[in-house]
Every structure is written in structure tokens, then in C-alpha cells.
Amino acid sequence: MLDKLVDAIIEFLDLFRFWEVVRQYEVGVRLRLGKYWDTLEPGRLYFRAPFGIDEIMTDYATPTARQLEQQVITLRDGVTIVVTPIITYQPHDPYKYFLEVETPESAIGDCARGTIREILSAMTYDEAQSPAVTETVTAAVRKMGYKWGIKVITVAMADLAKVRAYRIYGGQ
């Protein structure tokens, strides 16, 4: 009960705060009455209109590595593989990053998974094991992410292994 009271007091006091510090490792945008107002650069103090008039959105500007879910892909030569991609990215254009996608993490993850499937399914197993695949995939995902204000640094394949696919039929 006391923790809810403390939270309510903090939220009330936050209505009167008229400043925001964007730390050295962050980027952000300011919305005024729900519309884009300006881009906030790192390492600065910004004054904001209190009472919810200004909304500040920030995120880390440092590179973030994210392991995506495993994918099972059938290659051109009929071999089925499982691949676990790791994508390293950071915000490039804060306006697009915050305001043109619902969540940048899911946007770049879905984009990368689709691109990886498209590229690898056109290859044979021997071609898929080539180091050049990482460069090809990274370039393609980088191009897609740039549209959303995301700078893709690299896409690496943590696992790339053959698997056997089984279908289990249920029934009577």
C-alpha cells in the first residue's frame, strides 16, 4: 500500500519537472502536444514544458546486440538447416527510429529474419557456409534498417547446422 502511495507522489511531482537530461549514450526526440518537435542530442540539458505538454523519448545510442530466434530454412539443394542470427545495430535517425516504427527491435528483427530466409534459401549448403554470406546478409539488412532510422552494424550467424525435419501426423 505504501509503495503505491510513493509511486503516486513521484508521478505527481514528475508533472512539475521542467528539464530533461539526455545522457552521453542516448539519443531522443521531443513531442509537444503529441507532435514531433525536435531531436535531442546526447550530453545536453533540455528544458521541457511541464504537465505532460512535452513528452521526451530516449533510447541508447550505443550499439546493441540482439540474438534472434532460431530459423529453420530449406536450402536450394534440399538440405534443411537451423540458423541463429545475432544482429548488432544502433539508432541512426532518431525521428524515424522513434516515430516511424512501432518498436525498432521487432522491426529490425523481422526484417533480418525475412532477409536471411530469402538469401539462404537460394543457396546450397556449401554456399551457405561461406564467410561471404555474412557480408551479403549484413548489406541487405543494413539497407532495410536504414529506412527505419536503424544503422545495422553486422549480422552474424551464431549457429548454422543441418537438421532433419520430421512430420508427426496425429489422428486415428
In order along its 172 residues, the chain shows pLDDT tens digits of 788 888 888 888 777 778 888 889 999 999 999 899 999 988 888 888 888 888 898 888 899 999 999 998 888 888 888 999 999 999 999 999 988 888 888 888 888 888 999 999 898 888 888 888 889 999 999 998 898 899 999 998 888 888 876 666 665 5
Rounded-to-integer distance, Cα 40 and Cα 76, Å: 47
pLDDT of 130 reads 86
- The pTM is what? 0.76
Q: Percentage of the chain surpassing pLDDT 90?
A: 30
Residue 49 phi, psi dihedral angles, 5° rounding: -75, 130
User: Which helix (H) or strand (E) is 74 found in, with range?
Assistant: strand 71-74
pLDDT of 170 reads 63
Q: How many CA atoms lie within 13 A of 139 on its CB side?
A: 6
Q: Per-residue pLDDT tens for 31-57?
A: 999 899 999 988 888 888 888 888 898
Domains belonging to the chain, first-starting first, are 2-60 (no CATH), 64-162 (3.30.479.30)
pLDDT of 167 reads 63
pLDDT of 128 reads 86
pLDDT of 33 reads 92
Rounded-to-integer distance, Cα 15 and Cα 36, Å: 20
